[in-house]
Amino acid sequence: MKIISDYIVFSVLILLAIFLFCGPVGAVGLGMGPTLIEVNDAMRGSEHLDSLAIFNPENTNLNVALVVEGDVAGWISFYEGDAETPVSQLLIPAKGSVVLDVRILVPEDAANGMYKSEIYAEIVPDSGAESSGVGTTFRTSSKISIYVTDNEILEGTAGNFAVGDTEEGAPLLIEVQFSNTGNVVAVPDVSADILKDGKTVGTVSESGISVSPGESRTIKLEWDTADQEIGEYEAHVSLFLGGTVLEKQSLTFNLFPEGTFSRNGELSALVFEGRPHPDKLLKIVGKFNNTGEMSTKVKLVGEVYKDGSLEDTFSTDEIIVSTYVTEDLPYYQKVETGEYIIKAYAIYDNKKTGEQELSFTVGADAASGQPEGTATASTPLSLVTVFMSLIIVMMVISVLRKQ
């Protein structure tokens, strides 16, 4: 009877060792941050923006589903980049991460008080993979708390004020960072008086840019330097919110003769954001790196090929890019089912960068959110797991032998 009892104990301990050290056979790593998203003093009907990063430490791509459980499940949606369509499932590349925009829309009829929920990112197993019989779904989570109030708060903070030297005839770029710390949409105003030898020689302003609660924006002003004297200038820059001065700064810059500074840049990458779906707009982004010594105006120019034939050409609006800054040059292309190749280059100061090429497929798999080549969510048992299990088994056998 004791022998039977010993074998029962032995079997239970082996199963316990496998359970403790092996875990679910299909479980893999996944991380998400921040672990807590807080929204204080949210107004009914207001929209709030935040960010959520999902990390994949594995050597294979992972399909991940997004699930919200709790009080505010219907208030939250997720977006990749500037995509207009929310996502509920996405592909996280191996050893990579994806940063999502979290949009929180508080209902008009929400009662005052605290609301709590949890955001889950869970691995979607490959439908073709064999089940191990053990739970194969792995999920990680972030908590979210929202306090709803009827107290309207219009607040914001000023960040960095920046200006750089430029050349005669080239635009002067003034940048002001603004963060909305209130609970309603803010529309800040920025103005700058340009002075030479104490006298005002120009004025520029920018208004009408909406900033959602929790969002930060860089507001850019451009001053035309044509026919201005060479020398030192001052820019008296003011940031207003709700008619009240939030911050003022005086910045010094120099206007140099044309040809003083080098003009260099490169189109470092051409990518798309989100996932390509038939009959939808896809955001194409050219990454322009200004390696020159002054700000420059840049635009993206390219060709779109579908199934081997030229389908369209495009040229984006010019934007001004600061010195030693990498800026996105966005373009939106409506795509259909097929094989796409996009060839593009950037034009700046009458110069042309090298060409970048982007290829992708739009089809039934892409539309369903199951990209071809997606890896399964299962991994083999690690050597460490097996080794630890064997040690426990050997310890149990040694105890039984002594008995």
pLDDT band per the 50, 70, 90 thresholds, residue 23: very low
For the record, the structure tokens of 136 come out as: 């194969």
| Residue of 339, 336, 344 whose CA lies nearest to 284 | 344
Residue 25 · residue 136 · CB < 8 Å: yes
| Residue 1 pLDDT exceeds 80 | no
The 3-class SS string of 346-378 reads EEECCEECCCEEEEEEECHHHHCCCCCCCCCCC
* 226-255 pLDDT per residue, tens: 999 999 999 999 999 999 999 999 999 999
pTM more than 0.75: no
- Predicted confidence at residue 391, as pLDDT, reads 53
CA 57, chain centre distance (Å): 18
Neighbours of 27 (CB within 10 A): 19
- Predicted confidence at residue 154, as pLDDT, reads 92
Determine whether 177 is exposed, middle or buried from the number of CB atoms within 10 Å of its CB (0-12, 13-18, 19+): middle
Pairing of the two strands 62-70 and 351-352: unpaired
- Predicted confidence at residue 364, as pLDDT, reads 58
Q: Is 156-256 in the same CATH topology as 29-148?
A: yes
Tell me the backbone φ, ψ of residue 17, rounded to 5 degrees.
-60, -45
Please name the amino acid found at residue 185: V
* 178-210 pLDDT per residue, tens: 999 998 889 999 999 999 999 999 999 999 899
- Predicted confidence at residue 126, as pLDDT, reads 66
pLDDT band per the 50, 70, 90 thresholds, residue 94: confident
| Residue of 286, 355, 364, 278 whose CA lies nearest to 326 | 286
Upstream peptide bond of 125 is cis (omega within 30 degrees of 0): no
- Predicted confidence at residue 137, as pLDDT, reads 57
Instruction: Put residue 197 in one of left, alpha, beta given phi > 0 → left and psi -120 to 50 → alpha.
Output: left
Neighbours of 203 (CB within 10 A): 11
pLDDT band per the 50, 70, 90 thresholds, residue 372: very low
| Residue 3 pLDDT exceeds 60 | no
Buried b (16+ CB within 10 A) or exposed e, 119-136: bbbbbbbbeeeeeeeeeb
- Predicted confidence at residue 307, as pLDDT, reads 95
Question: What is the CATH code for 265-367?
Answer: 2.60.40.10
Inter-CA distances, 87 with 65, 66, 81, 262, Å: 9, 8, 11, 43
Tell me the backbone φ, ψ of residue 298, rounded to 5 degrees.
-135, 145
Pairing of the two strands 89-92 and 156-163: unpaired
- Predicted confidence at residue 96, as pLDDT, reads 86
pLDDT band per the 50, 70, 90 thresholds, residue 125: confident
Tell me the backbone φ, ψ of residue 132, rounded to 5 degrees.
-85, -10
pLDDT band per the 50, 70, 90 thresholds, residue 127: low
Neighbouring residues of 383: CB distance < 8 A, sequence distance ≥ 6: none
* 315-350 pLDDT per residue, tens: 999 999 999 999 999 999 999 999 999 999 999 999
- Predicted confidence at residue 77, as pLDDT, reads 94
| Residue 290 pLDDT exceeds 90 | yes
For the record, the structure tokens of 207 come out as: 């208004």
Compute the average pLDDT of residues 74-93.
Answer: 85
Domain boundaries along the sequence of the chain: 29-148, 156-256, 265-367
Say whether domain 156-256 belongs to CATH 3.30.360.10: no
- Predicted confidence at residue 228, as pLDDT, reads 94
Please state which CATH class domain 29-148 belongs to.
Answer: mainly beta
Percent of the chain clearing pLDDT 90 (strictly above) = 58
Place of tokens 């001052």: 234
Inter-CA distances, 44 with 50, 151, 183, 188, 330, Å: 17, 10, 10, 22, 33
Q: What is the chain's mean pLDDT, rounded?
A: 82
